[in-house]
Structure 1
Amino acid sequence: MNKRSIKQGGGINSNQKAEGWVLALLGGLFFIVGVWASVHFLPDSIRSGEYSDLFLLLFVFAGIGLLYAALKQIQAYKRFGATPLFLDPSVPSLGGHLGGRFSINSQDIDQNASSTTPFCAKITCTRRDKNRDHTTYEVIWQDKGPVHLKQTAHGVDASFVFNIPNTCKATQELSRRLSSSTRSFIEWQVSAEGDFSTSSLGKFERNWAVVVEDNDARQATD
């Protein structure tokens, strides 16, 4: 079993925290560039009657918008905690099942807290093609199912299960032609979302990148 599989068996961290900091980095970059350019170019442009440079303010406003979105996402992440995902089996395979469980540990979830909308989970198998110019995504297969919630002393435990068809493709980097600059990957992701009736909690959203093995490869390592 490879290192990624071992990490997956020990719990998979969600992508939300990293995405929030990426937004914050982009927002900060836009804001700094916009402010610097506005301070250095706008005064002279306005004095000379050239108002076309006012578009530089768009960088400032875009930066503020991205920073606000990043703040909301980071706050939402902290509100529910890390919520690592534990799989059963630890490394699922094609033709088998993927069971998942995670815990939402929050002091704001009391015994009367409930979900205002049904919690649901989604599993997606995607092909990602990447080259120097752009990245494209193609959904190969996906499925949705309910998330079962169980009240605990520290919050709630959540669980779900999916059956993976044998006709899908395992997590891998596809071989490429020597003349092609495009790299292609088969990737799997699981997501879960729902709303709590407690106003201080609001909407819960998480997604996790998971590894799905080919059934033959799994049997060879067992």
Structure 2
Amino acid sequence: MMAQQLPPNKKYNPKKGRIGGVIFGGIFAAAGCFAAGGILFDEHQNDLLFRLLMAGFFLLVFGGLGVFLIRHALKKTNLQQELDKIRREGIASDQKSGHKYMTIFGLVFSLPGLLIMVIGLVKGEAGALAGIPFALVGLGLYAYGNKQKRTYQVIGPTVLKPDPLPPVTGHQLGGRFSLSAKPRNGLTLRLSCLHTYSSGSGDNRTTHTSVLHQQETRAYIETDSAGQQHIQFLFELPADVPESGNESYKGTVSWQLAAEGQVTTARKVPGTQIAELMEFKRTWDLPVLSPALAEALGIALTQSDIAIPEQHQQETRAEQRQEAVESVERQIDMTTLPSGTTEIISEAGRNKSMWGILLAIGAIFGCVGLFLLYQATQEGGGLWFMAPVFCLVGWGAFLYGLFLSGRKLETYISADQADGHGQVQIIRSVFGRQLYQRNGCITSPSQLELKMTMSSTSQDHVKTEYMAIYANIDGKSIKLAEGIEGRLAGEAMLAKIKAALTQRLDDELI
């Protein structure tokens, strides 16, 4: 494929996105114009100044927003020009301009609202009440924008310089940025590939974001003579992940880098000489290309010039392993009894964020289903189809959440003195009542397997995997431990079980 055959905006301005932006912008602009015209020519309102203010308000807010959306949708961005701009200026964090939009929208909403209130009160007209909600919303947005601005200015700009540029799947993704504030206990960098898409229609239309790939590392930090902190990082991208704007997915695919931690600033805690401690969080959107697109654009694939010292990498891996071990020790009780039997207890009531959501959502959908069922008995029709669906989905999720909240798994591994094999017994119970018991024999640690059973994603796009450990015995998978939060914690638990087995098995089984 030749470069000239590629649409110039293939990755950054998909056709559907442009059409959607124009449609939504047109709706807002038309609504603003119709509202302004209706108010301006309202025969029941005699005050011309009041009509002009109200018409100008709707025209400015809705019409202005519509024009902004249309211009943004029609904006042409050439990928090569965008990369050249990043090479010159770097990538500003998402937090750089967020407060500006809040402040502008706050002023746009509040000023006309305040004028309408003042004029209405002076003239004693009830129309003054129409300005109250706009003024309150506008002032709230303005105050929130100012708060964001102060927080951003205290820490300062964090312009990211990617290296190499552009990053390509299957190769390295690195970068650096400077920080005037001093990290307290280092910074965590998280790289995520996000898939954002919409489902449903009309009032039921919702936007979802799923994490296709995610990895974390600890930042390598150097301090210069002026006290400036220079943050560096380096990731290895898998070859089987999608690039930015991959069109085989419904919606959009994007890559995001997040840096988190605590920093000390130049500001002092009031009344003391102690430096103020602040939460630090910055996010950047990164352009990640596929090898085919990079080749088509004539971009040479190069390694990053960033060199992370081996000692820092070893310390990072050791720290992650230690955190995983401590995490799994808090989650799973594993002890060796005087008889030499290893006891592994996956207690009930853990993973509240998982089963709590199922209980809440299940109860809501289930109650809606019962209400629809009642309405169906009164009205009939299509409600007879909707009610059972809501009831089954809702109460099914509720019962599953109830099971997860009360489930307990007890595992006992003991050595058979005759052949040295590990004898396994597991007991499943729910709310203290035993459901079943299984037994088996482990002859090799290779029978053990770590599997992801569930996953959840937070509002900050942090993906949490819930792991379980199985033993493949006589063609069946017997679960030994469950509900382990985090893949690294699951790997640490797997290593602990293998260690318990290999202490008693022959050397050839290690």
Q: Out of 67, 77, 85, which is 2:142 matched to?
A: 67
Residues 126 and 187 of structure 1 are in contact (CA less than 8 Å); yes or no, is this contact kept in structure 2?
A: yes
Which letter maps to 1:25? I
Aligned partner of residue 90 in structure 1, secondary structure: coil
Q: Does residue 208 of the first structure (1) align with residue 301 of the second (2)?
A: no
Q: Structure 2, unaligned stretches of length 5 or more?
A: 1-78, 268-275, 301-510
Measured in 2, the distance between the counterparts of 1:208 and 1:39 equals 43
Amino acid corresponding to residue 80 of structure 2 in structure 1: N
The structure 1 residue matched to 2:254, chosen from 158, 174, 187, is 187
Q: For residues 15 and 146 of structure 1, do their structure 2 counterparts lie closer, same or farther at Cα, with a shift above 3 Å needed?
A: same
State yes or no: 1:45 paired with 2:126.
Answer: yes
Task: Say yes or no: does 1:136 pair with 2:207.
Answer: yes
Gaps of 5+ in 1: 47-52, 177-182
The RMSD of aligned alpha carbons is: 3.1
Inter-partner Cα distance in structure 1 for 2:97 and 2:251 = 23
- CA 1:166 to 1:24, structure 2 compared with 1: closer, same or farther past 3 Å? same
Question: Is contact 1:8–1:210 with CA below 8 Å preserved after alignment?
Answer: no
Q: What secondary structure sits across from 2:251 in the alignment?
A: strand
Mapped contact 2:223–2:229 kept (Cα < 8 A): yes
Equivalent residue pairs, number? 203
The answer to which structure has the higher helix fraction is 2
Residue 219 of structure 2 is matched in structure 1 by: 147
Q: Which has the higher strand share?
A: 1
The CA distance in 2 between the partners of 1:137 and 1:39, in whole Å, is 43
Q: Which one of 58, 78, 81 corresponds to residue 3 of structure 1?
A: 81
Alignment correspondent of 2:233: 160
CA contact (8 A) 1:96 1:165 kept: yes
Separation in 2, partners of 1:141, 1:73: 29
Partner of 1:19: 98
Q: How far does residue 159 in structure 1 lie from its aligned partner after superposition?
A: 1.3
CA apart distance, 1:9: 3.0
Task: Provide the residue aligned with 2:383 in structure 1.
Answer: none
Q: Using the TM superposition, give the Cα deviation of residue 79 of structure 1 relative to its aligned residue in structure 2, in angstroms.
A: 2.7
The structure with the largest alpha-carbon Rg is: 2
Range 200-209 or range 167-176, more displaced: 167-176
Partner SS, residue 177 of structure 2:
strand
Q: Alpha-carbon deviation of 1:211?
A: 0.6
TM-score for the superposition, normalised by structure 2? 0.36
Residues 70-85 of structure 1 aligned to structure 2 (within 5 Å) = 70-85=145-160
8 Å contact kept, 1:86–1:101: yes
Between the two proteins, what is the percent identity of the paired residues? 26
Check 1:94–1:101 CA distance in 2 against 1; reply closer, same or farther (3 A cut).
same
**TM-score of the superposition, structure 1-length normalised?**
0.75
Change (3 A) 1:98 1:28: same
Alignment partner, residue 180 of structure 1? none
Q: Tell me, what secondary structure is at the counterpart of 1:169?
A: coil
| SS across alignment from 1:216 | helix
Distance change >3 Å, CA 41–CA 142, structure 1 → 2:
farther
Distance change >3 Å, CA 118–CA 135, structure 1 → 2 = farther
CA distance 1:65–1:88, change in 2 (3 Å) = same
Cα separation, 2, equivalents of 1:33 and 1:135: 32
